[in-house]
Structure 1
């Protein structure tokens, strides 16, 4: 069952999402060669708590960490380690926060040093597919319309779209209805309704879409060992249209990136 949020609740969810956005922005300055993901996890927990929230992942489903850090062929759910990031790596950092009774949850894939051009293209396409999917989150469409749009765009570039892992509704629980696959058929699935809030999160692989889980019980990796990229936003349907609650603006500011990709999905001006 889809749990509809009031406009007041959506504003509370925006605050939760922005704590995550600010955390990712802080981490953007720290993600570099020689840094461990355990270090990133430690400073992220402190940052979230200092901003009046609690880590959304830590303790959820017995998750031991604040962040999930997936390096190179890791798709999602990578546990932080003491292994240093190295030049040419990519790392997808997924972060959650609980504030005012609501969760925020989104992710960004970062480059470390000199990343090869093929991987950069994968990152660019995956990020573009996120906004292509968000554009379909509007009254009159269904879950399958979002998944179809993401799948067609990524597969047209020769990439694998992960099937076993999907986006989700979000609210007072981290995972609510509906599931939001990154693949599907147009016109199929649950109808979008006013006040629903979801996390859309393309998980796109350089090669095969097939994945496997490591022995740690958490980390999901590509079966062929090729890189995978993950981007995620929290989005509400407000006045029939998609309204992004999270933002990559803090990451972009830290990295010196100029972007207007979120502008069409934001009814209220974002004040950094």
Structure 2
């Protein structure tokens, strides 16, 4: 069952999402060659905690850090390390925040310095797959219409979708119903209603869609070594359209926050 959030719950979810957005805004300025994933992770955790929130990933099923940092052929769940980012890398930073019991969740893939045209293509069209999926959202559509829209866009641009990974509902737990695939037939599954809160997150690869988990038990990479990108927003379904909750918008309505 997909929860319908009250106005007060949506306000808390928006606050949580806004803190996530503050972290991503800081990352945009900080990511450059010579910076380590561990440095970025510590920076994000400081922003989260300075805004009276908690890193939702830290301790989740034993995960050790505040962020998942996946580099190049890293797909998801990368553990931040002291490995220094290099010119031409791409790096995905996935951030979860818990604010007064409610969750914000967003991932973004960034280029490090000047990146190759192939990498630019991957980032541009994975992000666009996200927006294509978001732009069909409104009350009354079937859930799989989002999945179909994302998968069709990726296929049109010769990108592989990672089928084992999906979006999900968001609320008081990091992962709530429903599962939101990034491929499939349209017009199936639950009908969306205003007040539902969803994390939409296409994950696309330059090569094949096959993945494997490394020996740390967390880091997932592409089997063929080709690069992967991941873009995610948490949104609230509206009667017409949607609202991005992991956004800097309407900052005046939030408590004083620190970036």
| TM-score where L is the length of structure 2 | 0.94
Structure 2 residue 136 is the aligned partner of structure 1 residue 156: no
1:102 maps to: 102
Structure 1 residues 234-269: Cα deviation after superposition (integer angstroms, max 9, x where no partner): 00112342111112x6xxxxxxxxxxxxxxxxxxx6
2:195 maps to: 195
Cα RMSD (Å): 1.2
2:20 maps to: 20
Q: Residues 245 and 2 of structure 1: is their aligned pair in 2 closer, same or farther, counting only changes over 3 Å?
A: same
1:123 maps to: 123
Matches within 5 A, 1:1-272: 1-247=1-247, 270-271=250-251
Which stretches in structure 1 are left out of the alignment for 5+ residues?
250-268
Return the alpha-carbon distance in structure 2 between the equivalents of residues 226 and 119 of structure 1. Answer: 10
Return the alpha-carbon distance in structure 2 between the equivalents of residues 184 and 139 of structure 1. Answer: 20
Q: Give the drift of 1:73.
A: 0.3
Structure 1 residues 117-172: Cα deviation after superposition (integer angstroms, max 9, x where no partner): 01101100011110110112212211210010000001111110110000000000
How many positions carry a matched residue from both structures? 252
Return the alpha-carbon distance in structure 2 between the equivalents of residues 270 and 118 of structure 1. Answer: 35
| TM-score where L is the length of structure 1 | 0.90
Structure 1 moving runs of 4+ over 4 Å:
none
Q: Secondary structure at the match of 1:61?
A: helix
Structure 1 residues 155-206: Cα deviation after superposition (integer angstroms, max 9, x where no partner): 1111101100000000000100001111111011221122110000010000
Return the alpha-carbon distance in structure 1 between the equivalents of residues 194 and 150 of structure 2. Answer: 22
Determine if contact 2:139/2:238 at 8 Å carries over to the other structure.
Answer: no
Return the alpha-carbon distance in structure 2 between the equivalents of residues 241 and 153 of structure 1. Answer: 19
Determine if contact 2:159/2:204 at 8 Å carries over to the other structure.
Answer: yes
Return the alpha-carbon distance in structure 2 between the equivalents of residues 139 and 271 of structure 1. Answer: 26
Structure 1 residues 187-229: Cα deviation after superposition (integer angstroms, max 9, x where no partner): 1122112211000001000010111111111111111100100
Q: Secondary structure at the match of 1:70?
A: strand
Return the alpha-carbon distance in structure 1 between the equivalents of residues 13 and 115 of structure 2. Answer: 34
Structure 1 residues 30-75: Cα deviation after superposition (integer angstroms, max 9, x where no partner): 1110111011111111111001101110011111000100000001
Q: Give the drift of 1:271.
A: 4.1
